[in-house]
Structures are given as structure tokens and as C-alpha cells.
Chain A
Amino acid sequence: MKAAGILLAIALALAAQTTIARYITSGTVTVDLVLVVVVYVALTSGSVAGLLTGTVAGLIQDSLLSTGLIGIGGLAKSIVGFVSGIVGTQFIVSQPLPRFLVFFVATIAHQAITIGLSVVLGQQSFGTPYAAVAGEALVNAVVGVAAFQLSELLPGAVERRRMGKSRLRR
């Protein structure tokens, strides 16, 4: 059930990445919704879940969106997911700021791994995209923290709505 939910989240993230992501970013600043899902799953479900989610999501993203080597994104997301899961189990990341930091650092690490592997394998010439990476990390962190806040507020809101309806009936 949980796995199905994760797969659904990945699918939604990919769909959103290819459709609405361009509307929430501008210029060189982008957002990686798939990475946000991977880090989110890792923080909530642990390193193994983060690892497997990163693998599946990265490979699908590579095969669908990438024009380069299939596997680089999967490798980067697997590492990020695994390490994020470890961080989530070893440290208290229940507050927005720690989560923000995790998403931020995870995005930078993901980009570093992706760019590094691509350069080593001679696939692309990236130059020095510090601003783009920093912008993406910022956006991912904001989106990730927002996702956490939403997921925590949404069950309470539904409950409050149910309770409000029952009071009205009395």
C-alpha cells in the first residue's frame, strides 16, 4: 500500500515536472519535483525506502526526460535518498528549518553527483552553474518544506472539518 503510494507520488511528480513546473520557475532556476519526492520519502520512511525510491524515480526520470546516459540520475537520486534516510533517522528533522536544510543540501549533493558523473564520463560541459544549483536547491527546499507542512496540516484540517460538520448537526 505504501509502495503504491510512493509510486503514485513519483508519477505525479513526473507529471507535474513536465507540465506545471515550468510555470513555477523562471530563467535558469528550476525545480526537481522528483527529487523532492525522493527526499520526502526518505525522511518519512527511512534509508531503504529512500534508496529504492531514488532508484526507481531516477531511472524513470532518466528514461523519460534525460537525453544523456540512463542511470546517472538514478545513481544520484539513490545516493541522495539513502543518505537523506539516514539523516532522517539519526537526526530530528521534524521542524521546517532542518527539513529545509536537508532538502537544500540534498539538492546540491544531487546536482554535484549528476554534474560530476557527467563531466567524468564526458557527457556534457556544465561550466560553473553555482547560481542555478543554488536556485534549484532553494526552490526544492521551499517546495519540500511546503509539502511537509501540507501533509501535516491536511489530516488535521479534514478532522477539524469532520468535527465542525458534526457540531452543526447537533
Chain B
Amino acid sequence: MAILDVRQRSGYLFLAVMLGHVILISAQVNSRSGVSVLESVTFGLFSEVQRGTSTGFGGVRNVWSRYIGLRQVEAENATLRRELDDVKIQFQERRALADRARGLQALLDLRDRSNLQTTAADIIASSPSPDFRTMTIDKGTLYGLQPDMAVIAPGGVVGRIVIPTLRASKVQLLIDRNAAVGALIERSRAQGVAMGGGDQRLRLEYVSETADVIVGDLVVTSGIEGIFPKGFTIGTVDAVEKSGPSYKRISIRPAVDFSSLEEVLVVLTPTPIHQAEGSPAQGKNE
């Protein structure tokens, strides 16, 4: 019966015998590298198994290590975020210091140009009320500050000191509705009085009907009120309205951005009028 089975499967038997012979021959034949062909083929096949096993194991190990790595990365990420926040804060501090240095340098340049005796002061507070445009600086009578001393910035005139205390002073800004400063048009030398309106603009009043004023003219201090040195920039004319022969309204855009001021200079040098009268002059305080 078994023989019959074998005969029915003679093809398989033939293949098995052939395979056996091939293996037998291969075991005796050396390849070009001097290794037995059987060993070479066996090793080649087994190496593929090893490769597959290694690849599979490597994949599992990679997944596991990445999972572990992710957990570590999460903690590391949090640490790095904290460090980044610290660095950002440090960067902002450095940038602020740089900005402050630039501002102080500008003030220093202004003091050198003006030949005035000045002292620098930091702005420590400002009034948000539109009715009273004031700010507080960190210098007072201890540093020689007195009422009606002019306060200037690299961009132009800021205001005047109204209330000095020992270590601080209140400064009335040009844009305060009770502030006024003698002004003249630099181009035509037409004179007037620049007055605050409580907003971000100034009005140029008391201008002669024959005066030549056009939009874009630079307005500077005239020094006539005895507070502000002559020739300091107040702003530029940004609107001119005439009603008949007379000027109905002349609007001035201040040269100083009051909202971004950080440091100012207080002019300690008495103006010629101060020197003549021996007492501080009064600005417009109505």
C-alpha cells in the first residue's frame, strides 16, 4: 500500500531525490569565495531569516524606544518651553535696555546740541484724563527743578513743570487744554500762540491775518513767554482754515509722541526773560 502511494506520488519522490542530490553535491562544492555552496546557500537563506527577525525586532524596539523617548521628550519639552520663556523675557529686557540706551543717547545728543543746562528725568507716571494732560517725572527740587522749567525731548517740546516736589515733579504737557506756548512759523516767521486742546492736537491762535501759513510748515517755540528756549520744535501745521481774511483755525500736529515718552530733559538754564525779571514767568494757565 505504501509502495502504491509512493508510485502515485512519483513526481514528488523524483523532486525529493533531486533535491537530495543537489544538497549532497552542494555540500562538496566550494563557491568562488572558498566556502561550501551548501553552507553558502544555507547561510544565505538563514541570513535572510536573521535579517527578517532583526528587522522585526528592530521595529518593535524602535517603537518602544520612541514611546519611551516621547515620554522623555514631553518633560524635556516642558523644560525647554520654560527656558524659552525665560530667554524671551531676557531678550525683551535686553531690548528694552537697548531702547532705553538709545533714548538716553538721544537726550544726551540733544543736551550737547542745545548748550543748555539740563537734567535728564524718567517719566514715572502719566495722567490718563483727557482734561488734564500731565505726567510725573522722577526729579524734583532736590535736583534743582523749579516751577515753569521747560521739559523737552529729542523730538521737540514736551511741556513745563507745574508742581515740583522733593523727588518728583508734575509736568503739564503741551496738549493739555490749559497749556500754551509762544510759537512761530519757521518758514515765514509768523508768530502766534500754540494752545493745547485736550486731544492730540494743538491750535495755533493769534496769528495775523497777513501771516503766511500753509500746511506742512514747521512750528517752533518763539521763547516769548520766557519758559521755553527759542527755536525748539513744537510740531507741523496739518490743517489751515480761513474765514474771510482771518484764520479760522490752524491745527498743529505735535512733534513729540507723548504716549511713547520715557525720558525727558528738564531745562535748568534760565531763559533771558527769567534772568531779566528774576522770577519764573507764567505760561497760559487759564
Q: Which residues of A contact B (CB under 8 A)?
A: 46-48, 51-52, 55, 69-72, 74-75, 78-79, 82, 117, 121-122
Contact = CB atoms under 8 A, between A and B. Distances in A.
B6 to A, nearest CB: 6
Interface stretch (B7-15, B123-131, B164-172, B173-181): B7-15
Contacts of A55: 17, 20-21
A72 B25 contact: yes
Contacts of B13: 48, 51
B21 A74 contact: yes
A59 B267 CA distance: 122
A48 B12 CA distance: 11
B24 A70 contact: yes
A55 B21 CA distance: 9
B18 A78 contact: yes
A67 B25 CA distance: 13
A75 B17 CA distance: 8
Interface of B: 6-7, 10, 13-14, 17-18, 20-22, 24-25, 28-29
Contact of A121 (B10, B14, B29): B29
A47 B11 CA distance: 10
Contact of A51 (B17, B22, B24, B28): B17
Nearest to A47: B10
Given A55-B17, A78-B17, A78-B18, A71 B28 contact: yes
Contact of B22 (A47, A70, A75, A82): A75
State the 9 A-B residue pairs at the shortest beta-carbon distance, nearest first.
A75-B21, A71-B24, A71-B25, A69-B28, A48-B10, A71-B21, A48-B7, A121-B29, A78-B17
A117 B17 contact: no
A121 B30 CA distance: 9
B25 A117 contact: yes
Given A74-B24, A82-B14, 9 more contacts: A48-B6, A55-B17, A69-B25, A70-B24, A70-B28, A72-B25, A78-B17, A78-B18, A122-B29
Nearest to A79: B18
Main secondary structure of the interface of A (DSSP, over half): helix
Contacts of A72: 25
Contacts of A117: 25
B11 to A, nearest CB: 9
Contact of B10 (A51, A70, A74, A79): A51
B213 to A, nearest CB: 112
B17 A69 contact: no
B39 to A, nearest CB: 15
A69 B14 contact: no
A75 B18 contact: yes
A55 B10 CA distance: 14
24 contacts: A47-B10, A47-B14, A48-B6, A48-B7, A51-B13, A51-B17, A52-B17, A55-B17, A69-B25, A69-B28, A70-B24, A70-B28, A71-B21, A71-B22, A71-B24, A71-B25, A72-B25, A75-B21, A75-B22, A79-B18, A82-B10, A121-B25, A121-B29, A122-B29
B154 to A, nearest CB: 97
B25 A78 contact: no
A83 B263 CA distance: 111
A72 B28 CA distance: 11
A71 B38 CA distance: 13
Contacts of A48: 6-7, 10, 13
Nearest to A68: B28
B19 to A, nearest CB: 10
Contacts of A46: 7
A46 to B, nearest CB: 7
A94 to B, nearest CB: 21
B256 to A, nearest CB: 101
A134 to B, nearest CB: 26
Contacts of B10: 47-48, 51, 82
A82 B14 CA distance: 7
B26 to A, nearest CB: 9
A71 B20 CA distance: 9
A46 B20 CA distance: 21
Contacts of B17: 51-52, 55, 78
A67 to B, nearest CB: 12
